[in-house]
Structures are given as C-alpha cells and as structure tokens.
Copies of this chain bind each other. A is one copy, B any other.
C-alpha cells in the first residue's frame, strides 16, 4: 500500500559518504513539487553491499507500487552494473553520464576511484580548514583581539544577526579564518567601530537584519526582555547601519538569506574573480 499516491522514495547511493549523491539528487528533485522521502545509502563499495542496496530498493518498489528514483555517484563499475541490472528503479547515474564525454574531450581515462574525502584529510588544504575552524571559534563574538590580523574576514553586526553561523560555515566549507565582532550599545554611544577593528577595515564585512525579525529571534532566547523589544532592535539596527555606512563598510541583510547565500556573497566580495 503506498503511503500516498504521489510520494516517491529517492535513494542516494554512493561508494563514499554520499554527500555528492545527496547534493545531486536533492537539487534535481527540488525542481519538482512533490513529496519525497530520501534514503541515503553511503559506503556501498562492495558487491555484497550492492546486493543489500538492491534488496532495500526493490522492497520499497514493491511496497510503494511505483519505481523508486535512485541517484548514484558510484565509480565501481561492478556495483553500478548490479544496480542497473537488478533494481526495479529509475537509476540516474551522474558519473556514467558525464565522465564518458569528458574522457573523450580530455583524451585521458578517468581512474574510477572513489572520491574519498579522506584523501584530502592528509592534505595541507584540509589542515588549513581545521585550523580555520579553531581560529573562528576562538575569535567568535569578539572573544579575542589577539591574532585578529590573521583573519581573512571580520564580520560585524548587532547581536543575533547571523555572524556566528556564517563564520563557522566559511571556516568549515572554505577554510577561511573568520573573526566576528558584535556591535553593542557602547559602540553606538561612542558612534564609532570598536577601536581594535580600525586597523583592519578592508577585511570588515557587516551583517544586518530587519528589526522585526531580530526581535523575533531575540525573543526566543530572552522572552519579554528590553534586549529583545522591537523598539531596542530598531534602535540597534539603525545605529549599526549608520555606523557601517559612515565607516564605508560593505554590508548585507541576512533577513531572508540562508547561511549559504550570505557566505557566497561574502566570498564574491572578498575574492571577486571567483577563483576559490
């Protein structure tokens, strides 16, 4: 019995972590307005695991009465073959589709190796990324002025404008050392940026937010407080924006943006040639 006549189960099958298969499958399925249930099958790197995956997929096919959709990023051709030959599913094979034409274009053979994140785990880039996470944690919320000059980016903005998640995302995904600094009532009274930041103006990037949304977010943490009141949020946001405008600091509003969009916009500003 299908749970719903429209629901489809979508399998994300990979020899590795399945992160690529997940990004691949979800971005394609996001083009359709329909309810979807995702099942991720990572580390399918042997014939035995391939047969277990086939069994799981075929059980769903039988229970739901429609073919499941299977997105794969498998490089082991034997595993691919079993999946294609034995599942009652629609198999979307990212690698077969694109790697073959590329082999012709480039005039070289692909090596069919599993894209192991662990290959990079020993690389300098990976160590830099770990270092960036530590740096960004230590320089979260204006905790530390020491080493500020090593920052790739310094985010500023009122409390709860999205600085911390953005910092951590940039560090985790791009290995950027990101500091963040709250703008607080003291700064507004003095009408200038925190003095420790002044030497690093080219690295500053501001985050702002609609006062209504800010008040909502702050009220989740400290309900009914003056800190969370709409009046205070309006005051802080207006002062922060005026200060950034005076200081010539670039800024963007996080109100309707996701961390991914905020991070991409910042990267474009910091590295405008897209070469990252």
CB distance from A23 to the nearest CB of B (A): 4
Q: Does A77 contact B (CB under 8 A)?
A: no
**Minimum CB–CB distance for A260 against chain B, Å:** 4
Is A84 located at the chain interface by the 8 A CB criterion?
no
| Cβ A118 vs Cβ B257 within 8 A | yes
Cβ-defined contact, B67 with A268, below 8 A: no
Shortest beta-carbon distance from A270 to chain B in Å: 13
Residues A98 and B92 in contact, CB atoms below 8 Å apart: yes
A225: interface (CB < 8 Å): no
* Given A28-B102, A42-B264, A137-B164, A118 contacting B258 (CB threshold 8 A): yes
- Check A90 against B105 for contact (C-beta < 8 Å): yes
When chains A and B are docked, how far (Å) is the Cα of A259 from the Cα of B120?
A: 10
Q: Check if A95 sits within 8 Å of B34, measured CB to CB.
A: no
Q: Is the CB of B111 within 8 A of A31?
A: yes
- Which B residues lie within 8 Å of A257 (CB)? 117-118, 121
Of all chain B residues, which has the CB nearest A41?
B274
User: A126 near B: Cβ within 8 Å?
Assistant: yes
Of B19, B133, B261, the residue contacting A117 (CB under 8 A) is B261
Q: A235 CB to closest chain B CB, in angstroms?
A: 24
- The segment from A165-173, A182-190, A193-201 that touches chain B is A165-173
Q: How far is the CA of A17 from the CA of B23 in the complex (A)?
A: 13
User: How far apart are A166's CB and chain B's nearest CB, in angstroms?
Assistant: 10
Give the complex CA separation of A140 and B259 in angstroms: 21
Tell which of A106, A120, A256 has the most Cβ of chain B within 10 Å. A106
From residue 242 to 268 of chain A, which have CB atoms closer than 8 A to chain B?
A: 256-261, 263-264, 268
Chain A residues at the B interface, C-beta cutoff of 8 Å:
8, 16-20, 23-24, 27-28, 30-34, 37-43, 67, 69, 73, 75, 90, 92, 94-95, 97-99, 101-102, 105-106, 108, 110-113, 115-118, 120-122, 126, 130, 133-134, 137, 140, 164-165, 168-169, 172, 256-261, 263-264, 268, 273-276
5 cross-chain CB contacts under 8 A: A8-B106, A20-B27, A27-B115, A31-B95, A121-B258
